[in-house]
Amino acid sequence: MAQKKKMYLGEESATAGKIIEFIVELTVIAAVGLFVANFFFFSTKNASKAMEPTIRQTSVVFSNRMTYAFTEPKRFDVVAFKRTVASDDKDVLVRRVVALPGETIRIYRGQVFINGEKLDLLGHFSEITSDGIAEEEIRLNAGEYFLLGDMPANSEDSRSSTIGIVRREQIAGKVWITATTITDIHFIR
């Protein structure tokens, strides 16, 4: 009978060991998952109407930090950027890339001209009612981008002297997903 008790205790010990092993494995997987999520992605809250209807005000925006480690931003990419190079992660805005390094941009009477040619904005932007600082032609240097909100009438963007030209170092990532609620999630193209 004593031997039977030992077997029972041994079985209990093996079960407890398996549970502990499972908890340790689960903890390691969760820690690695959090590290990868924080290293590759970040989230910010969209506090303005500047990107409507693409991204609604109060949506949470998820951006990929690594996309631009291997490529450069392209025209019409939606990017998250810091207002200044020294800004903290709470001061992140979301806008769309319109002009690229080495290009000239001018906004005249609501029309966008890149290198003197009218840019087709159909499907990306609503009416532009203010030319801002781009009323006069601006030449972008290496590593400089011109960004606009999808709703330019309600957007503080590169047309504004408070933001102006955005340097490559200010771009924190490419916007990937937006979510208003747990069931209202959209991929950004």
Sort residue 109 into left (φ over 0), alpha (ψ -120 to 50) or beta: left
**Nearest in space to 172 (alpha carbons), one of 63, 37, 58:** 63
Instruction: Identify the band that residue 11 occupies on the pLDDT scale cut at 50, 70 and 90.
Output: low
Q: Are strands 60-64 and 166-167 parallel, antiparallel or unpaired?
A: unpaired
The mean pLDDT value for 65-82 works out to 92
Per-domain boundaries in the chain: 1-42, 46-187
Reported for 44-47, long-range contacts at CB under 8 A and 24+ positions apart, including other chains, are 44/80, 44/89, 44/92, 44/94, 46/94, 46/178
Provide the token pair at 81: 């950027």
The mean pLDDT value for 149-154 works out to 86
User: How far is the C-alpha of 119 from the C-alpha of 110, rounded, in Å?
Assistant: 11
CATH number of 46-187: 2.10.109.10
Tens-place pLDDT, residues 14-64? 777 788 887 888 777 766 666 665 667 778 888 788 888 888 888 888 888
User: How far is the C-alpha of 119 from the C-alpha of 132, rounded, in Å?
Assistant: 17
Poorest-confidence range of 83-92, 155-164, 176-185? 83-92
Predicted confidence at residue 10, as pLDDT, reads: 53
The mean pLDDT value for 173-187 works out to 84
Cβ partners under 8 Å of residue 162, min gap 6: 83, 156
Report yes or no: 52 and 151 within 8 Å, Cβ to Cβ: yes
Sort residue 14 into left (φ over 0), alpha (ψ -120 to 50) or beta: alpha
Instruction: Identify the band that residue 187 occupies on the pLDDT scale cut at 50, 70 and 90.
Output: confident
Is the pLDDT confidence value at 92 over 90?
A: no
Distances (CA, A) of 114 to 76, 138, 145, 182: 13, 10, 12, 39
The mean pLDDT value for 122-146 works out to 89
Instruction: Identify the band that residue 13 occupies on the pLDDT scale cut at 50, 70 and 90.
Output: low
Predicted confidence at residue 87, as pLDDT, reads: 65
- Max CA-CA distance within the chain? 96
Predicted confidence at residue 77, as pLDDT, reads: 95
More confident residue, 29 or 9: 29
Is the pLDDT confidence value at 7 over 70?
A: no
The mean pLDDT value for 96-102 works out to 96
**Nearest in space to 133 (alpha carbons), one of 166, 167, 165:** 165
